[in-house]
Structure 1
Amino acid sequence: MSRTSFALGTFSAGPSQPFPGIVVAGRVYDTRAAVPAAASTSQLLADWETTLEKLQSLADAPVGEGRPVGELTVLAPVQPPGQILAAGANYREHVIEITVAHRLGKADATEEELREQAAREMDERAAHGEPYVWVGVPSAISGAYDDVILPSLGENHDWELELGVIIGREAREVGREEALDHVAGYTICNDLTTRSLVPRPEIPMMGTDWMRAKNQPGFYPTGPHLVPARFVPDPQNLDITLRLNGELMQKGNTSDMIFGVAALISYISHRVVLRPGDMVITGSPQGNGSHYGRFLRAGDVMESEITGLGTQRTVCR
């Protein structure tokens, strides 16, 4: 028997309280019809293996007529949000691009030599190295259609479109072969960064400062929805596209990850307990603003898409 595809999200209508819903063919159905005890998506995720089948039954035989998704306010899918664990320097071509742009190699090397050097280093890292992961704060998560308020603190606010992985079962010291069993589903996350706040020149031995550069309110536009893992055949073969004011800026594929979703979950779970509702963001392909020397300004419109996960549209203010 075939399953009806659906996505899970959080919605509101006017002044009413937000509610969890599934989206089937453009209409939203309140999940409390199937799981009345769960008043939020985080509560649904807390017992995901059980609730997934109840949500599937609701999708296969919806209760009532539902509401067109366009009539509702779409919030970030997981409410309240969990932890954010974020991979850096995780797309092969992106790292090569950065190496060439910033000439991170021998002073007299040609661009081709720098590319070859970076490619060798990334292949070595993939074979024998470890991911680079940092932590974000849930208070910085916003919805897929919310405005992005550019902060007065710092300069050169940049975009980084990423695949978000939502955890559906606690993960502690899991191997790569079982890691995907802990995934509830996938979403879109734009990991915004204030580039001028990344370095700490006054304390150079400390390196980068991701807390101040990446955690302003609204700096993780997330969603619009969570697509259950059963409807994403291969998370390592998804196109990632971001347009700025209609111009294509980022275009990549998750197959270019140095460490795939399973490797990231396994690595993180040996250092941090991953719990239902946590989000792992997996790195960004090439084409950030720092590559073009073009950063976000008031009035800019970012339109973002990942295969099968929907689209985002955020306006900078």
Structure 2
Amino acid sequence: MNDRYHLLSFNDEGRARSGLLIGERVYPYGPELGALLQLDMQDLTVTELIGRWDKSGSQLREAVARINASTTSLPSLALDAANLLAPLLPGTIYGAGANYYDHVAEMDRAFNMPPSPDPHSVSGSPWHFIKAPACSVVTGTGAQVTLPPYSRNVDWEAELAVVIGRPARNVAVEDALSYVAGYTVANDLSLRDVFVRDYIGVHSPFHFDWISQKCWEGSCPLGPWITPAENIPDVQSLGIRLWRNGELRQDSSTAEMIFSVAEQIAFLSSRVTLHPGDVILSGTPAGVGMPHKQFIESGDEIEVWVENIGTLKNTFTTHDTSRTDS
């Protein structure tokens, strides 16, 4: 048995608890497990564990090794019996825009535009936006997402999500991945019909409406868990796929990224300090709905898979217009 594991959050009688997923068993994190393993394991959420990753990362590796070597039965539950939540509530969420070569090409065709120049040769810098706080936009695997009533063009975007594990400021590209605690899966949902203000000219900085497009309630499903960075030997060679109601719509690889994960971390850290628990959505590949004018409808199920990490699943429903918000 190897020491591979995932770090997840689950609902334990109304409160969020962290757990170690080893194989198909979830081992709740906390004092009880710590006592059995003779380790100092406080009852921390995944967000808190990431916040002290320099200590908890090595502690988790030791715990997993001891669990695998143990001949006694330790408290656990089956994965399919665990009510999973979003694996963490990020601090700041940074989203990479137009960061896959195949996606840029399909959007150029969709808008009848000439091929975009390679950003590496034009600017040398990636481009990001910031999403609203996690408590407003993040939801977990298995959760139902309510489609906003002011949009009919809700699009899917399969993404590799990068979880920062220690403060990063002005880091070099060659050192950047050492600041990563782990990786998870995201669906950076986008509203294509409220992205622009048509009454304002395209050359105005107020033409685009990023809040309406990217920062609505439930717009950032994350999960199903966090895979430690040490278990991902090459983050730039991972398969990434998305299915809508069982139909494969996105099928690419992180090798198609324009700016690598390391380059994104280095760039962002030159602007601000990245903190433990911050998440970078590293871009989406070709296969989104926009070029074909096909969008998410009520009753749809979207599955997003990233190789060596797992599958994020969500269903969608329409806004309940009979309710009145208080």
- TM > 0.5: yes
SS of 1:236's equivalent in the other structure is helix
Q: CA deviation at 1:203?
A: 3.0
User: TM-score, normalised to structure 2's length?
Assistant: 0.88
Deviation by residue 1:229-274 (Cα, 9 ceiling, x = unmatched): 0000111001111011111101110000000000000111111221
CA distance in 1, matches of 2:4, 2:162: 18
Deviation by residue 1:33-91 (Cα, 9 ceiling, x = unmatched): 3453352112111221211111112211227141111111100101x332100100000
Q: In 2, are the aligned partners of 1:38 and 1:44 still within 8 Å (CA)?
A: no
Q: Structure 1, unaligned stretches of length 5 or more?
A: 106-116
Counterpart of 1:81 (choices 82, 90, 96) is: 90
Q: In the alignment, which residue of structure 2 is the partner of 1:41?
A: 46
Q: What is the aligned-residue RMSD (CA, Å)?
A: 1.6
Residue correspondence of structure 1 range 1-317 to structure 2 within 5 A: 4-13=3-12, 15-32=13-30, 33-34=33-34, 35-62=40-67, 64-78=74-88, 80-105=89-114, 117-118=115-116, 121-122=117-118, 125=120, 128-137=123-132, 138=134, 139-204=136-201, 205=204, 206-317=206-317
**Number of equivalences:** 300
Letter in 2 for 1:10: S
Deviation by residue 1:158-199 (Cα, 9 ceiling, x = unmatched): 000100000000111111111101000000000001111111
Letter in 2 for 1:249: R
CA distance in 1, matches of 2:219, 2:176: 27
SS of 2:250's equivalent in the other structure is strand
Deviation by residue 1:189-226 (Cα, 9 ceiling, x = unmatched): 00001111111223330232211111111111101000
Deviation above 4 Å: which 4+ runs of structure 1?
Answer: none
CA distance in 1, matches of 2:207, 2:282: 21
Letter in 1 for 2:124: G
Q: CA deviation at 1:19?
A: 0.6
Quote the sequence identity (%).
34
CA distance in 2, matches of 1:82, 1:288: 27
SS of 1:100's equivalent in the other structure is helix
SS of 1:55's equivalent in the other structure is helix
Deviation by residue 1:268-287 (Cα, 9 ceiling, x = unmatched): 11112211111000110000
SS of 1:291's equivalent in the other structure is helix
User: TM-score, normalised to structure 1's length?
Assistant: 0.91
Letter in 2 for 1:131: P
CA distance in 2, matches of 1:295, 1:45: 35
SS of 1:96's equivalent in the other structure is helix
CA distance in 2, matches of 1:157, 1:133: 20
Q: CA deviation at 1:312?
A: 1.5
Q: In 1, are the aligned partners of 2:186 and 2:304 still within 8 Å (CA)?
A: no
CA distance in 2, matches of 1:272, 1:3: 37
Q: Structure 2, unaligned stretches of length 5 or more?
A: 35-39, 68-72, 318-326
Q: In 1, are the aligned partners of 2:28 and 2:75 still within 8 Å (CA)?
A: no
CA distance in 1, matches of 2:123, 2:271: 18
Deviation by residue 1:91-140 (Cα, 9 ceiling, x = unmatched): 011101111221113xxxxxxxxxxx43xx12x53575211100012120
CA distance in 2, matches of 1:221, 1:144: 7
SS of 1:12's equivalent in the other structure is strand
Q: In 2, are the aligned partners of 1:126 and 1:258 still within 8 Å (CA)?
A: no
Letter in 1 for 2:79: V
Letter in 2 for 1:64: L
